[in-house]
Structure 1
């Protein structure tokens, strides 16, 4: 059995392209899962804050935030969000920027590290992104995060203690330092087997091609079984 392909994903809960990229990767994985010799993968999510200076309770909607943060005219921001909403729809995601509550995501990233330690990181990542982009839920306050954590099977008291104590903040910072070492300046960013980088929300076929190619090379590199 060949060693599984590692996929390390740097992303932010508040990044619309990260959720799209996640869904496209999943579709790519579904496609290769039907192969006779299907690639085996291990996926790990890593923390990246696009706007670490954002307050937990931002006063305004997403248009207000982007217009102020990027200095773009409101009309241009509206057009950009409309475009992203269309791309998300093609990926099977129903974005609701009209409901979105912009917030600081550092506590959400701490929660992802706590969930990882409990073997529930993937479930927590999906729940947070869905809550933020499609349901208009708040993902910056501890009370709200605990509620979402319970939905994926995490213990409420243990989750609250982890967030209040900021036990996993060092893990968040370590991820960010690794991103800087890799030269990652935008997300999503996928690092395959620690050596191949894929930037942005690429289509499913891009992931299919890379995974099949790497898996085939693993097979070629395996020594032939000794004759009995």
Structure 2
């Protein structure tokens, strides 16, 4: 340990910091729900200690890279994936039951194409270098809303670039395509996946209270995981 008095005092006076690493995919409704819970938890944390320095890093990558760039028929894709129309309706009801309490109503029937989300995920990774925490969170929510509420095809570059311009994100078609070629591996546990200060990890769209407890545990004076 350093005996330098100035260094020691600076370390003690430094505001506590929380880094959040969030792994997600733009075609995953649970990731949107998880984002809503995360935003609630972050507001709760700042209400407890406004001096905390927050950093949110986004790690977006497609869960299904084999989907063609043109996408596939949405309804048929899920019926084949889950085995029947009844199974699809049951899954959607389950998701809606978790989405509605956080203010999300998913319009599954308005979606025509299941996209390859590589470009959408690439846009998230590009945009985070330009937007602050709140603006970036709003932008990611706008992508989810475009897909799950408005039924837009977020696999198409023109759709994504329109959404980027609306959020004042600078990204040319060439930049977007180049970023789409760079992959970002998702955690093996699945998404949504949260890591707090590289110490505490949670997978799933868990309630805000659980995320807040994990954040407190990950802070420098928290309980070691």
Shared fold per TM-score greater than 0.5: yes
1-side partners of 2:219 and 2:201: how far apart?
Answer: 16
Change (3 A) 1:135 1:83: same
2-side partners of 1:203 and 1:38: how far apart?
Answer: 24
Tell me if 1:109 matches 2:113. Answer: no
> Deviation at 1:4?
1.6
Q: 1:104-155 CA distances to partner (integer Å, 9 max, x unpaired)? A: 0001112112212323643432221121112211111111111010010024
Trace 1:28-47 onto structure 2 (pairs within 5 A).
28-36=41-49, 39-47=52-60
Q: Secondary structure at the match of 1:46?
A: strand
Tell me if 1:92 matches 2:103. Answer: yes
> Deviation at 1:195?
2.4
Q: Contact 1:107/1:140 (CA < 8 Å) preserved in 2?
A: yes
Tell me if 1:55 matches 2:59. Answer: no
Q: 1:28-73 CA distances to partner (integer Å, 9 max, x unpaired)? A: 1122222146643211110232211122333423x321222x2422
Q: Secondary structure at the match of 2:109?
A: coil
Tell me if 1:211 matches 2:222. Answer: no
2-side partners of 1:192 and 1:59: how far apart?
Answer: 36
Change (3 A) 1:150 1:25: same
- Segments ≥4 residues shifted beyond 6 Å: none
**Structure 2 gap ranges (5+):** 1-13
2:154 equivalent in structure 1? 139
> Deviation at 1:86?
2.0
2-side partners of 1:50 and 1:167: how far apart?
Answer: 16
Tell me if 1:4 matches 2:8. Answer: no
Q: Secondary structure at the match of 1:114?
A: helix
1:195 equivalent in structure 2? 199
Q: Contact 2:99/2:105 (CA < 8 Å) preserved in 1?
A: yes
Q: Contact 2:96/2:106 (CA < 8 Å) preserved in 1?
A: yes
Q: Secondary structure at the match of 1:13?
A: coil
Q: Contact 2:119/2:180 (CA < 8 Å) preserved in 1?
A: no
TM-score (norm 2): 0.82
Deviates more, 1:10-19 or 1:187-196: 187-196
1:80 equivalent in structure 2? 91
2-side partners of 1:110 and 1:118: how far apart?
Answer: 14
TM-score (norm 1): 0.81
